[in-house]
Structure 1
Amino acid sequence: MASIAPPACSGRRVLVVDDSRVQRRILASQIARSGYRVEEAGSAEEALALCRRNPPDLIISDWMMPGMSGLDFCKALRELNAGGYIYFILLTSKTETAEVAMGLDVGADDFLTKPVSGDELRARIAAGERILRIERELKDKNRLLTSALGELQGLYDSINRDLIEARKLQHSLMRERFRSFDAMDVALLLRPSGHVGGDLVGFFQISGTRVGVFSIDVSGHGITSALMTARLAGLLSGNRPEQNIALVQAGAGYGARAPAELARQLNRIVLREMRTETYFTLAYAEVDLQSGRVALVQAGHPHPAIQRADGSVEFVGHGGYPIGLIEDADYRTIEVRLSPGDRLFLMSDGITEAPDANGAELGAEGLARFMHLCRSQRGPGFLDAMMAHVDAHAGGEFPDDVSGALIEFRGPV
C-alpha cells in the first residue's frame, strides 16, 4: 500500500482500490491535487483490512478485481461497524441498469464509468463530500440532542423522585382515613390522578358533641395545587386547634365559626394573603352528634348527597361561588338533619364528572344509582364498593383527582 503526500491544505481521506497499479496511481494523483489525503489498496481484501483499522471517508473501488469483487467489498464494508458513514463509489465499465441497481442494492452511493475524466472524478467526490458533511452535522446534532435528552432524563428522574416523596407527604395530610365517634363514623377517600393532586378531605373535633368534616378541590393539578392543599390542611388542622380557622376560642375550649363564615374567611385569606390565581371549591359540614343536625356550606363543590336509611338519595346545597375567585363573595349556611342510619357524602367533581368510554359523565343520577347499589356497605367498605363502580364506569382512567368524605350517623348512644 502506498500513500501520496497531500497539499498544504489537506482534506478528507480517500481510499483508492484497484488491482491495476497504473490505474490506482492515475486516480490517486488526480484526487491528491484536489487537496484530499489518498491511500491505495491493491485488492478488496487489503482495503477491507485497512477499513477495519482506520476507516476512510470515501472509497473509490474498481468493480472487477481478482478474489473479492468491488461489489462484494461494498457489501462487506456495509456490514462493518465503522463508527461513521463511508461514501462508496464503484468504478466500472458496466452501464446496464440491472447491474447498476445491483450495486446500489448492496450499498454503493455512486458510480464512475471507465475511462474516468478528472473533472467528473472531482465532481463525484465533491458530491460525496457534501453528503458526508451533512451526515457529520446530523451526527453532531444528534450527539448534542442525546446529551440534552440525557440531562433532561436526569432532571425528570430527580423530579419524579421528589414527586413520589411529595405524594407520600400529601397523603400524610390525611392522618386518619376512618374514625368512629359516639354517634357517627367518618371515612375518607383520596385518589390523586397524578403523583400529587389538588383534592383534600379531612375532619376535626370541635367539641365533645360536634365534628367538622370538609371536602376540598383545588383548581388545576400538580405541584401548585398540592402546595395549596398543604396550606389548607394547616388552616383546618385537627391536631393544632389554635391554628384551625374554623375554630374560635370559647373559654377554656373552642367553639366554631358558622360554615358560611368559614367560607368567607377562607375567601379573604386566599385573595388578600395568598395572592394566587389558584382557587378551590369546598363542602364543609358541622355535625351535631346528639341531634343529627348538620350545618353545611357549599362553595362551588358538587351537591352533597344524603342517603337515607331506606336507601333513597337526595342532594342538598345551593352551589355557591368557589373560594378565591370573587372579593366579598357571600355564602349561605344550610341546615339538614340526619336520622339514625342516614349517611352524608361530600365528594369532589372527580367522581361526578368521571367520563365513560363515550365521554358521558357519571353525574348526580349515576352517583345516586351507585350509592343505592352500595347501600348495605359501611364506612371504608362503602367507599371501596363505590369506587369499584366508578372505576368500571370510567374504565379505570380518571382525568381528575377523586376524593370524598363519608359521614354515617348512628344516633346518640
Structure 2
Amino acid sequence: MPVERRRILVVDDDDDMRELLERRLKRWQHEVVVADNGLKALEILKEEDIQFVITDWMMPEMNGLELCKAVRAGSGNRYIYIMLLTGKAERNDLVEGIEAGADDFIVKPFKKEELQVRIRAGLRVLEFERQKEQALQEVRAKHQALEEANKTIHAHLEAAGRLQQAMLPQHHRTFNDFRFESLFVPCEYVAGDMFNYFQLDEARTAFYLLDVAGHGVPAAMQSVTLSKVINPSTLADQMAVKDQIDPRVPILDFFDPVAMVTKLNQIFLGPSSGTQYFTMFYGVIDTRTRRISLTQAGHPPVVWLKSNGGAELVGDGGYPVGLLRKASYDLIEFSYQPGDRLYLYSDALTDGRNDERESFGQKRMLATFQQYGDLPLREALESVHKTLKDWVGDEVLDDDLSILGLQFLNPE
C-alpha cells in the first residue's frame, strides 16, 4: 500500500542543511515547512497540522531534545513523529534522545537513500496511528450508541416496572373481617410474580399469588397477562354475558379454586401457548361459613399461624400450571378463627442464600413468621423481609420476592 504524502517540518539552524533537506523532500513529493530553531518550530506546530518533524539536535534558543519534550507535553491527541538529526552516535546519547521523545535518529553525515527509507518508515507509523485513531473513534461512537441504547432500555424497564407495580393491589386493604397486606420486591426492574385479591360477592373474596418460571421481562410479560385474566373485570364480563358466551371461549370459575386452576392450565399449556409455566395458590374466603378453599399448583406451602399459637404449612405440592396437559389439582379446605393469619409467598423467600450458599429454608422461614406473629401485619412482613436480607448479606436474591399476608379480624 503506498504511503500517504505528508507535510514535513524541517528544523535546523544550518542554512545549507536546511536547504538540502527541503530540496530532497520536495523531490520525494512532500510538502516542506522550515524553521531555524526549536522555538519557531514549536509555534508552527501549534498553528499548523503537521505530524512529521525532522530536527537537528544542536540548535540555539531551543535544541532538538527540548523540542521533543515540548512536543510530547503539548501535542494532545495528535501524534507527531520526530526524527532527530545528530552527529552523536553513542549509546547514551540515543537513550537520552528516546527518553526525550524522539521516534528515530539519523546520524550525520547520512546518505539520501537512508533518509528516504527512514522517512517511509516514519510515515508508516503515522499511517498506523491514523488507522488506530480512526478505529478508536469508531469504537467510541459505537460505545456512545450502546450507552444511549442502554439508557433508553433502562428508562423503558423502569417505566415497565412502575406500570407493573401500579397493577398490583393496594399494599393493604380491609374487607368485612379480614385484612390483606403485601410486599413486592422484584430482583430486576420487572418481576414474574403477581398477586391480587378482590371480592366475588358479599360473602366471598378471592385471592392468589403466582410465580412465573424465570424472571425479568419474559416472566413479567406473562405475569401481567395473567393479572388481566385473573381479574374482577373478567368475572364481571363473564357475568354480564353469561347466557351469550360462545362455548368455545374458556370460562373461568372464580368461585371454585380447582376449576379455576384447571382451566388456567388448559389455557396456558406449554409450547402451544408460547408461554412459560407458573406456580400459584388460588383461594376463596367465605365469611358466611368462615372457611377457606385453596388450590395449590406447584407453589410453596401456605404458612398458617393460628390464634391459639399453633403454626403449620398448608399444601404439599401439586403440578405447576401450563406444564402437563392432564394435570389434576386438589382442593384444600379449612376453617379459620379470628386472629389467624395466612402468608402466601414466592420461593425467593426460602431459596435466598447466605455467603456460605446455605438456603434460608422452610424451617427458618416458618420460625421467622412465628417470631413476628404478634406484630401488626405490615410490620410483620417488613420484619420478615429484613431478616431475609440480613441472612443473604452481601449476596443478592436470584429471584423476585412477593409475600401476601392475610389476617382474620374479630368481627366486633
Which ranges of structure 2 fall in alignment gaps of 5 or more residues?
244-251
Post-superposition shift, 1:312? Answer: 4.2
Matches of 1:37 and 1:127 in 2, distance apart? 17
Which residue of 1 is the match for residue 146 of structure 2? 152
- Whether the aligned pair in 2 keeps the contact of 1:189 and 1:201 (CA below 8 Å) is no
- Whether the aligned pair in 1 keeps the contact of 2:172 and 2:182 (CA below 8 Å) is yes
**C-alpha distance after superposition, 1:89-143 (max 9, x if no partner):** 1112223333322222222212212212222222222222222112111211221
Matches of 2:100 and 2:336 in 1, distance apart? 84
Three-state SS of the structure 2 residue aligned to 1:369 is helix
Post-superposition shift, 1:48? Answer: 0.5
The code of the aligned residue for 1:336 comes to F
Matches of 2:112 and 2:125 in 1, distance apart? 20
Which residue of 2 is the match for residue 395 of structure 1? 393
- Whether the aligned pair in 2 keeps the contact of 1:213 and 1:405 (CA below 8 Å) is no
Q: Evaluate the alpha carbon distance shift between residue 329 and residue 338 of structure 1 in structure 2; reply closer, same or farther with a 3 A threshold.
A: same
- Whether the aligned pair in 2 keeps the contact of 1:348 and 1:402 (CA below 8 Å) is yes
Post-superposition shift, 1:293? Answer: 2.2
Matches of 1:173 and 1:86 in 2, distance apart? 62
Matches of 1:156 and 1:140 in 2, distance apart? 24
Which residue of 1 is the match for residue 343 of structure 2? 345
Query: Which moved further from structure 2: 171-180 or 149-158?
Result: 149-158
- Whether the aligned pair in 1 keeps the contact of 2:235 and 2:254 (CA below 8 Å) is no
- Whether the aligned pair in 2 keeps the contact of 1:202 and 1:215 (CA below 8 Å) is yes
TM-score (norm 2): 0.90
Q: Evaluate the alpha carbon distance shift between residue 389 and residue 25 of structure 1 in structure 2; reply closer, same or farther with a 3 A threshold.
A: same
Which residue of 2 is the match for residue 335 of structure 1? 333
Superposition misfits of 4+ residues, deviation over 4 angstroms = 247-250
Matches of 1:359 and 1:32 in 2, distance apart? 74
Three-state SS of the structure 1 residue aligned to 2:187 is coil
**1:259 pairs with one of 257, 269, 281:** 257
Query: Which moved further from structure 2: 313-322 or 67-76?
Result: 313-322
1:211 aligns with 2:205: yes
Post-superposition shift, 1:372? Answer: 2.1
Post-superposition shift, 1:18? Answer: 0.9
1:368 aligns with 2:362: no
Which residue of 2 is the match for residue 6 of structure 1? none
Q: What does 1:65-80 correspond to in 2, within 5 Å?
A: 65-80=59-74
- Whether the aligned pair in 2 keeps the contact of 1:249 and 1:255 (CA below 8 Å) is no
Three-state SS of the structure 1 residue aligned to 2:69 is helix
Query: RMSD of the alignment, in Å?
Result: 2.5
The code of the aligned residue for 2:407 comes to E
Post-superposition shift, 1:178? Answer: 1.0
Q: Evaluate the alpha carbon distance shift between residue 390 and residue 104 of structure 1 in structure 2; reply closer, same or farther with a 3 A threshold.
A: same
**1:111 pairs with one of 105, 112, 118:** 105
- Whether the aligned pair in 1 keeps the contact of 2:270 and 2:323 (CA below 8 Å) is no
1:382 aligns with 2:380: yes
Aligned length: 401
1:185 aligns with 2:183: no
1:296 aligns with 2:294: yes
The code of the aligned residue for 1:301 comes to H
- Whether the aligned pair in 1 keeps the contact of 2:212 and 2:279 (CA below 8 Å) is yes
Matches of 2:331 and 2:148 in 1, distance apart? 51
Post-superposition shift, 1:197? Answer: 1.3
Matches of 1:272 and 1:281 in 2, distance apart? 13
- Whether the aligned pair in 1 keeps the contact of 2:52 and 2:82 (CA below 8 Å) is yes
Q: Evaluate the alpha carbon distance shift between residue 102 and residue 302 of structure 1 in structure 2; reply closer, same or farther with a 3 A threshold.
A: farther
**C-alpha distance after superposition, 1:10-35 (max 9, x if no partner):** 71111111111111222233333333
Matches of 2:130 and 2:207 in 1, distance apart? 65
- Whether the aligned pair in 2 keeps the contact of 1:290 and 1:412 (CA below 8 Å) is no
Matches of 1:131 and 1:336 in 2, distance apart? 84
Three-state SS of the structure 1 residue aligned to 2:88 is coil
Q: Evaluate the alpha carbon distance shift between residue 82 and residue 74 of structure 1 in structure 2; reply closer, same or farther with a 3 A threshold.
A: same
Matches of 2:366 and 2:152 in 1, distance apart? 43
Q: What does 1:11-410 correspond to in 2, within 5 Å?
A: 11-243=5-237, 256-271=254-269, 275-395=273-393, 397-410=396-409
Matches of 1:343 and 1:248 in 2, distance apart? 37
Matches of 1:249 and 1:239 in 2, distance apart? 14
Matches of 1:326 and 1:98 in 2, distance apart? 82
The code of the aligned residue for 1:142 comes to L
